[in-house]
Structure 1
Amino acid sequence: MATLRIPTPMRGFTGNQAEVAAPGATVGEVLKNLDARHPGIGGRVFDERGAVRRYVNVFLNDEDIRALNGLDTPVKDADRITLIPAMAGG
């Protein structure tokens, strides 16, 4: 199982846990399993087409998945996925 780091604004879905585990062979599978275990978080991560929302950054072991294979990026048990909502401001 991969470990996911959950940002503070999304922790309401995970019982205020900063880290949770979810199984999956790819980043996409892990994120879908995260939503199955913690209903509602998927709506904050995925858009209506099933793509990662543009204001959410997803990192696999400090690498942006957009620079890898996106949601199809393979995941190993010891991997860490970090969700980071983009900051807005001006």
Structure 2
Amino acid sequence: MPRVLSADAGGQRELELPAPADATLGGLLDGLRASHPALERRVRDETAALRRFVNVYVDGTDVRQADGLATPVRGGQAVEVIQSVAGG
């Protein structure tokens, strides 16, 4: 995860979360809310939708091109969260 988000993950650049057999990205983010609520709020808005300027990939596939929060996540798959950077 980008350094800008790692502060909300206790300084960690990587987190390992349990993924049950029927896990989805949304379910993993629900679990993230319990352990790292500030980080989860940076990824999802108050309606629990992915924030517009945050890109999430499951094993390299953009979840917006897949099933969004319903994208299945199996044990061992990498979930990457990348915050877009804008500026000039």
TM-score > 0.5, shorter chain as reference: yes
Give the number of aligned pairs: 85
Q: Does 1:19 align with 2:14?
A: yes
Contact between 1:23 and 1:29, CA under 8 Å: does it hold in 2? no
Structure 1 counterpart of 2:85, one-letter code? M
Higher share in strand: 1
Match of 1:89 in 2: 87
Q: Please report the TM-score for the alignment, with normalisation by the length of structure 1.
A: 0.87
- Identity within the alignment, %: 40
Report deviation, 1:58: 0.3
Match of 2:36 in 1: 38
Report deviation, 1:17: 0.8
Question: Which of residues 23, 46, 49 is equivalent to 1:48?
Answer: 46
Contact between 1:14 and 1:38, CA under 8 Å: does it hold in 2? yes
Structure 2 counterpart of 1:22, one-letter code? L
Q: Please report the TM-score for the alignment, with normalisation by the length of structure 2.
A: 0.89
Structure 2 counterpart of 1:61, one-letter code? D
RMSD after superposition:
1.1
Runs of 5+ in structure 2 lacking a partner? none
The runs of at least 4 aligned residues of structure 1 exceeding 2 Å deviation read none
